[in-house]
Chain A
Amino acid sequence: MTGPLLSVRGLSVNFRTPQGIVRALGNVSIQAGAGEVVGIVGESGCGKSTLAAAVGNLLPGNAEIAAGEIRFRDRDILRLGSDAQRQLRGREIAMVFQDPMTAFSPVLTIGEQLIEFQHQMTDVDKAEKRRRAEAMLARVGISDAGLRLNGYPHEMSGGMRQRTAIAAALLMSPSLLIADEPTTALDVTLEAQIIYLLRTLRRDYNGAIVVVSHHLGVIAELCDRVYVMYAGEVVESAPVDALFHQARHPYTRALLECDPARLDQPAEFLPTIAGEIPDLTVLPDGCSFAPRCALADDRCRIRPELTSLSEDHAARCHRVSP
């Protein structure tokens, strides 16, 4: 059977904290096929970064996977031994992290680190790894790449570091690239540059890319398909055009309305979603968005299921029907 490259099914992740157990992810299912760019969007604390970390098997020590499976090339990577998981990381699955300022070791040169990251290539010598690193830096648009290899991360600008992080992730030609908030730490000019870079890479890259962002603009620019997350659940999934033009879930609609880019005339106040994200230690029985939803009624006290609206559009709301 040839399923999608990455298929997360029914994943639930809990964090043990001094305040009690926090349910970071509840029954999350996503898919990403080869050549596809999948976006995961939601506000802070919705679990999108936890999802990214879970796929990379990089959850912090106090996290536990309560249920579900993460299938990569039809193998459940949660059932693999730690060595086999490690082999997947770096070679098949690569990650670009949120904060380029701290993502590199401050005491090793860029070159040393990029060579180190290729350690799974056992048949290639150090000089060749260095050449590969230099070529990759040049490819992501870093001028005088050879010189930069001898420099340290703190000698680079934020944009260069983020480019370097992307170059590092692409070094091993992974078939799955996970970019966790790749532009969040950057100013708008650099953000545009990085989006442009990712779009260019998209063209000649056959693997799947998962982009995690709270920024709707980034998602709209880059992705083919989008999952909207709220309070640890997927509330809507749709192709990017459908999501931006025919959003069905009230949360997705509210999120879209909050995007300042959508304002067509000056407003005194920016639109917001009233209320706050729920406390994940005590979840409501019903729909988790109901306390903030303008359309909530009695039905919302019962937890809604993800309803298929068309072949590739689904929403978790009682009010939607195909």
Chain B
Amino acid sequence: MLRYAIKRIGLGLLILIIVMVGMYAAVFLVPGDPAAVALGPRATPEMKRMLMERMGLDQPLIWQVVNFFRNALTGNLGIDVWSKRPVGTIIAEALPNTLVLGVASIGWSMLLGVPLGCFAVVYRDGWLDRLVGILSVSVIALPSFVVSIYALLLFAVKFNVFPAIGAGQPGNVASQIHALVLPCFAIGLGWVGYLARLVRASMLEVMGEPHIRTARAFGLPEWRVVFRFALRIAIVPTISLVAVGLGGILSSAVFVEVIFARPGIGSLIYNAVTSRNYPIVMGTVLVTTALYVAITITADLLIARLDPRVRDVFRD
């Protein structure tokens, strides 16, 4: 298990390096001069050259990547060209907002979607199953930015029950939770449908296995067969999906954070890209990719925890 974890982390680092090389390549492909952006229209070529040198942009691409990683390992992600503050600090301020948003969104959709999938299996082919199926497909089809805008219009503008923008007052947990409701709803709604469908499908597959027949042969009630015997196995593909999904939410949070004007990684990336603020772009991409990799590794270890057969494969 330990060796497996180390192998996965090594692979994750490799992914990070590849992503960053790609990012550096993109910077050079996209038109626009980072130094010109940083210094403004009245900068002289001399000033630009000096800044390029200071940022290390005159060096070969690979060397820049190496430098970036060397700095990143010491916790130094560079300096924001606008505010002149360290990029690491800016990300550290924005990240918790996005993490809370992502975890809360996936959290409520799991709490609702997984039981819905199970109920659909218990009452399979009945009206409840059909209803859950239709609703699931409907909410999957709704993009989160559409849900965001309508949720805003309805609950913030018309009924005025939830705040339209912001992440609540700092230090006031109640107001922060209050501000979290609508963005969470917007992101999580589609996931409820996904999870209900996925759990239903993998559950139906498991329900056909002989050990489920054994459980039934011992007269166990259907709900107990579903929740205790089948769910434990059917949840494994769901965990993989949620892991990928949580990573996806960190990036799809861009829309929702921009729409709800929430400070977070998403709006940070959005603003950085529109203003060509490359140190911020690089820093946030590195951090989100690292998070993505960490979540995937955690999910794999969790799966190994849930399925003893997988655990034994990793044991050496």
Residues of A in contact with B (beta carbons under 8 Å apart): 56, 58, 86-91, 94-95, 97, 99, 102-108, 116-117, 119-120, 152, 154, 165, 168, 172
Contacts and interface: CB of A to CB of B under 8 A. Distances in A.
B216 interface: yes
Contacts of A106: 211, 233, 307-309
B45 interface: no
State the majority secondary structure of interface residues on A.
loop
A58 B219 contact: no
8 contacts: A58-B216, A89-B216, A89-B217, A90-B218, A90-B220, A97-B210, A103-B214, A117-B218
B217 A116 contact: no
A89 B219 contact: yes
Given A97-B214, A102-B211, A107 B219 contact: no
Contacts of B213: 58, 97, 103
Contact of B220 (A56, A119, A165): A119
Given A119-B224, A152-B308, A103 B210 contact: yes
B46 interface: no
B217 A58 contact: yes
Contacts of A165: 214
Contacts of A120: 219
Contacts of A172: 218
A172 B219 CA distance: 11
Contact of A99 (B210, B308, B309): B210
Interface of B: 209-211, 213-221, 224, 228-229, 232-233, 306-309, 312
Contacts of B214: 95, 97, 103-105, 165, 168
Contacts of A86: 219-221
A314 B232 CA distance: 50
Contact of B229 (A89, A103, A105, A154): A105
A94 B218 CA distance: 7
Given A102-B209, A106-B309, A90 B224 contact: no
Contacts of B229: 105, 108, 116
Contact of A97 (B217, B220, B233, B312): B217
State the majority secondary structure of interface residues on B.
helix
A186 to B, nearest CB: 16
B233 A94 contact: no
Given A103-B211, A119-B224, A154-B312, A108 B217 contact: no
Contacts of B306: 107
Nearest to B216: A58
Nearest to B307: A107
Task: Give the top 6 A-B pairs by smallest Cβ distance, nearest first.
Answer: A90-B219, A89-B219, A90-B218, A102-B210, A117-B218, A95-B217
Contacts of B216: 58, 89
A108 B308 CA distance: 8
Contacts of B215: 105, 116-117
Given A90-B217, A94-B217, 5 more contacts: A99-B210, A105-B211, A107-B306, A116-B228, A119-B224
A165 B213 CA distance: 13
B308 A154 contact: yes
A116 B211 CA distance: 13
A290 to B, nearest CB: 35
Contact of B219 (A91, A103, A108): A91
A28 to B, nearest CB: 20
Contact of A168 (B218, B220, B308): B218
Interface centre among B214, B216, B312 (most CB of A within 10 A): B214
Contacts of A154: 308-309, 312
A88 B217 contact: no
A120 B221 CA distance: 10
A98 B233 CA distance: 22
Nearest to A88: B219
Nearest to B229: A105
A24 B307 CA distance: 37
Contacts of B211: 102-106
Nearest to A95: B217
A174 B36 CA distance: 85
A92 B309 CA distance: 33
Contacts of B219: 86-91, 119-120
